[in-house]
Structure 1
């Protein structure tokens, strides 16, 4: 029929040669992926003699949002969300945008429910901090 196929999911981790380094909350961050939601990076901070690392989303406004404690956990989340656009927004105080919510509802309704529970817990933690 001549229909053009367009990929929807995006599962990509940058090669080391492609990764860029930038300042990060008193340390450095290595960008491992770029998406419409922002840049996914591994942030490294010095804590005493040790260095701590975790995976964050740097949103388009330049704010960092925690996603996972390890790269392995991030990769599992990436697979669980089948690389759908903007899935990382579930880990921000603003939550998923309407398009991401729609794709998750269509392909992964159970995952959407879990993400919404994570968003509610995040909102409760933010309120307690204030």
Structure 2
């Protein structure tokens, strides 16, 4: 019979303890799990893409309910429920990543930005509801004449954007909030057609022509779209009438050519998840738990960085 001596048993015990300790150390923290769910695993997806490096996420503390209520009272509107849960979990976030064009040429290009709630402010320019495609006249937001409103409503209902979606009806009761500025060419806007509504929609406002292009029905859908587009620079301009800058289009062709397909179903607001592409579906329940308050940090990971 073979008999173990005490030294062998002691070594086996130590080995088992080390394995247990390593497994415990790999356990993800609640805060890390929250941001991984919030970004739908985008950081892991990006770090697996060739030449993508320096992926970093800026984490922010959540707002308290009083701060959200103060914002709503200041602007006399109600935030939609999914957007409210988002800001009660984190006061926005910023995700950046870089692309390695050459061994000594690394540039930061990827960018997903959701602003602090206080930075979501009214768009105070004199936005007019212009419809050059059907020859209708511009109607200022301040117009309140009932006949004018009726004509405006008829024109708006008859007008479609590039993707066949109805353009918004802008009246004196409408409220437009700026979410993001896209290269000084367009603005992502959250638009309440009336102050009594708590279901605003998200549009792209082209600054040169003041045309509206529909983006998303809800905040969750807009967040999902930014993740599905991997934070590629100026991805919102995919939905504009003038398209992407040439250098940005080259990045799309390199990293995600499927996003530029002419008949991409997402242009029709239908997103079909597929295993090979990060077409994620967001579950608003991830916003229910608050992460532990931490100072502003950068949780980054670098891969395939050749010096």
Category of TM-score, reference length = shorter chain: 0.7 to 0.9
Aligned residues: 117
1:17 aligns with 2:118: yes
Partner of 1:7: 108
Using the size of structure 1 for normalisation, the TM-score is: 0.73
**Residues of 1 paired with 2:236 and 2:191: CA distance?**
16
More strand by percentage: 1
Which is bigger in relative contact order (C-alpha 8 A, separation at least 6)?
A: 2
Is the counterpart of residue 70 in structure 1 residue 171 in structure 2? no
C-alpha distance in structure 2 between counterparts of 1:22 and 1:91, whole Å: 20
1:100 Cα deviation after fit:
2.7
After the TM superposition, which residues 54-65 of structure 1 pair with which residues of structure 2 at under 5 Å, given as runs?
A: 54-61=201-208, 62-65=210-213
Verify the 8 A CA contact 1:91 1:118 in the aligned structure 2: no
Gaps of 5+ in 2: 1-103, 128-169, 269-307
8 Å contact from structure 1 (residues 44, 53) kept in 2: yes
Deviation at 1:104, TM superposition (A): 0.7
**1:29-63 Cα shifts (integer Å, max 9, x gaps):** 1111122142211111129x645411111223233
Look up the match of 1:100.
248
Separation in structure 2 between the aligned mates of residue 16 and residue 50 of structure 1, nearest angstrom: 19
Equivalent of 1:79 in 208, 213, 227: 227
- Alignment RMSD (CA, Å): 2.7
2:258 is equivalent to residue 110 of structure 1: yes
Contact 1:45 / 1:51 at 8 angstroms: preserved in 2? no
Separation of aligned partners in 1, 2:243 and 2:106 = 29
Q: Which has the larger radius of gyration?
A: 2
